Structure 1
Amino acid sequence: VAGQELIYLKGQGRHPKVKVVCGAEKANEIFLDFHASASGGHTGQKKTRDAISRRFYWPGMTGDINKWVSECAACQSAGHQIKDTSEHTPINVSQPFELVGMDLGKLKTTESGNQYICVMIDYYTKWSQAYPIACKNAEEVTKQILKFVFQFEAPKRILTDQGTEFVNSVKLYFINIYFKYCMQFLTYEFVMVVTGMNATIQRSLCKLVGSKPETWDEYLDAVMFGLRTKKQMTTKFSPFFLMFGRE
């Protein structure tokens, strides 16, 4: 179907996908939007291919995307400084917010004074939130957990590797200041889903900030949007789809 100078490719079946067919002159521009932009996050070949192929088609696109990702200067310069451990055997959960992981990461201090990132991820949908914070004491972390609770709901359990003493301090803030009840906090040495997501976020930020690592908090929201809209290997869906039922 041709319209408004665009050609559309419509699939078959009860719920056919409609893709925009583009020529070689637009293909690289589309690739840069999906890979090199802040919301693209410089993801790898497969996630970049999946994101583009949901909306666009051009002959030879798989080879083109693989080639362009492998030649991306930002990806090459960043290398593998931060190991990605986000793809692994999932923990069994039966519904959203049954289990939420929390992890803290250290980055360059920004002009706003932020030097840590507090990452929270729902183990069922893989929906993740990341909050820039200036310090990582129990009071500040509790505030970020509350942001998560007020935006979504109180998780049944929160999993973290921050240690028993830290977790007990967080519990006190919930019980004595904010709530009459406390969610169940679990301390576990290996929290691969959330630590893997933290590594993925930091790697994406590293590729985007270039020579200005102190600007990472300016890119964080866009990076998170990109990660939420890309298909996960474990669930085979994007976190956005599992949360809202649409891409």
Structure 2
Amino acid sequence: MHRDVVKFVTKCDICLTYKLPTHNVLGEMGRPKQCCRPFQIISIDFIGPLPVSRKQNSYILVVTCCFSKYCLAFPVRRATADIVIKHLEDSVFLTHGIPQTVYMDNGSQFICEKTIALFNKYNIPNVFLTPKYTPQVNLVERYNKTIVTCISTFVKEDQRSWDVYLPKILFAINNSVNEVTGYTPSFLVYGRELVICGSHYVDNDLGDEIVFLPRDAYAENIGYLSKIFNKVQASLWHHHQQNSKRYNLRRRFTEFNEGDIVFKRTYYLSDKHKYFNKKLAPKFIKCRITKKRSPLVYELEDMHGKYLGPWHIKDFKLSKWHIFWFCCGFFYL
């Protein structure tokens, strides 16, 4: 009798819809990104809407390099596909080269036909959509927090001046030694440290004659970059292993298949005019998995067949508990 009651309660749709889960968050950290050079893998996202600046900007388009940690940010007026295409093509693809992989969320400006056509135009083989806030997958999410924090320390009460400080913030980020790589992002991208003060030239007087570096010596110096890139690649792998151990301590490994029933977390917004409060709304909705993109990302549809898009496993709750008896107790798998 006790076992039957437990089975019935743990499969109750109403309880699974309204009650918060007691088990650990599902999904361990994924595999590290395989990259060996700057701008081979990039991630893009928008910050905003922010207060309209005096230049009429409301959003920031952020692009980060997953290898060098180099960050680009463009203040824009609207978060549209045309804006994304213009800055990606002019300031990223035709400046730093064509990437092999692009990570972005499933915003309408990223998944529309115009943006996909841009990726096809340059034959970019891998384009991945990361659902909602997933900093463990999309590097740019972490840089978004850093940029917003830096902006807030500068603007204080005058929040309309946020785009004035953005270039200085980016310069500071790109010329600070990264804890993971051990180098500044600017050095890994340009092969040299950027001069941050004009006094550098005063202390290093060239004299009357300019001494040119021989081509062989210059080529030898450039050749050291490949060794540095190998060192950075090993450092990225090492730090990923360390982060995985800490991240997985409070995570639960679970994997689903197509056709499985899961409960997905809802993200409602309260609306006073519609007499709706998210605290009283369902915390989860019952869904069916239609496609398995990876062990961490799944495409869902509701029980009426409506497509819900890709979702990360961290937003899932187990819909069915397997129970077995051991001695006088039982354990949840």
2:84 maps to 141
Matched, 1:219 2:165: yes
Q: 100, 115, 119: which is aligned to 1:171?
A: 115
Distance 1:116 1:164 in 2: 15
Report the secondary structure of 1:129's partner residue. strand
Distance 2:54 2:170 in 1: 20
CA contact (8 A) 2:40 2:101 kept: yes
1:131 maps to 74
Q: 154, 162, 166: which is aligned to 1:208?
A: 154
Q: Which has the higher strand share?
A: 2
CA contact (8 A) 1:139 1:173 kept: no
Q: Which has the higher helix share?
A: 1
Distance 2:61 2:109 in 1: 18
Q: 151, 156, 167: which is aligned to 2:95?
A: 151
CA contact (8 A) 1:142 1:174 kept: yes
Distance 2:147 2:109 in 1: 27
CA contact (8 A) 2:84 2:109 kept: no
CA contact (8 A) 2:43 2:139 kept: yes
Specify the code of the residue in structure 2 equivalent to 1:152.
H
**Given the superposition, is the C-alpha separation of residues 235 and 90 from structure 1 closer, same or farther in structure 2, using an over 3 Å criterion?**
farther
2:53 maps to 110
Report the secondary structure of 1:113's partner residue. coil
Q: 33, 43, 48: which is aligned to 1:91?
A: 33
Specify the code of the residue in structure 2 equivalent to 1:159.
Y
Specify the code of the residue in structure 1 equivalent to 2:191.
G
Distance 1:105 1:144 in 2: 15
**Given the superposition, is the C-alpha separation of residues 91 and 233 from structure 1 closer, same or farther in structure 2, using an over 3 Å criterion?**
farther
**Given the superposition, is the C-alpha separation of residues 94 and 100 from structure 1 closer, same or farther in structure 2, using an over 3 Å criterion?**
same
CA contact (8 A) 2:110 2:116 kept: no
Q: Aligned-pair distance for 1:139?
A: 1.2
Q: 154, 161, 164: which is aligned to 2:105?
A: 161
Paired residue total: 157
Specify the code of the residue in structure 1 equivalent to 2:172.
G
Matched, 1:246 2:192: yes
Specify the code of the residue in structure 2 equivalent to 1:169.
E
Distance 1:119 1:165 in 2: 14
Q: Aligned-pair distance for 1:193?
A: 1.5
Q: What runs of 5+ residues in structure 1 fail to find an aligned partner? A: 1-88
Report the secondary structure of 1:124's partner residue. coil
Q: Aligned-pair distance for 1:166?
A: 3.4
Matched, 1:199 2:145: yes
Residues 175-218 of structure 1: per-residue CA shift (max 9 Å, x gap): 7xxx7444242112324421111110111011011111111111
Report the secondary structure of 1:97's partner residue. coil
Matched, 1:186 2:132: no
Q: Aligned-pair distance for 1:101?
A: 0.5
Distance 2:75 2:68 in 1: 22
Report the secondary structure of 2:113's partner residue. helix
Residues 59-91 of structure 1: per-residue CA shift (max 9 Å, x gap): xxxxxxxxxxxxxxxxxxxxxxxxxxxxxx963
Distance 2:36 2:188 in 1: 13
Distance 2:156 2:56 in 1: 19
Matched, 1:122 2:65: yes
**Given the superposition, is the C-alpha separation of residues 244 and 157 from structure 1 closer, same or farther in structure 2, using an over 3 Å criterion?**
same
Distance 1:156 1:228 in 2: 22
Percent identical residues: 25
Length-normalised TM-score, structure 1:
0.58
Matched, 1:228 2:170: no
Q: Aligned-pair distance for 1:162?
A: 3.0
Q: What runs of 5+ residues in structure 2 fail to find an aligned partner? A: 1-30, 194-333
User: Between Structure 1 and Structure 2, whose CA radius of gyration is higher?
Assistant: 2
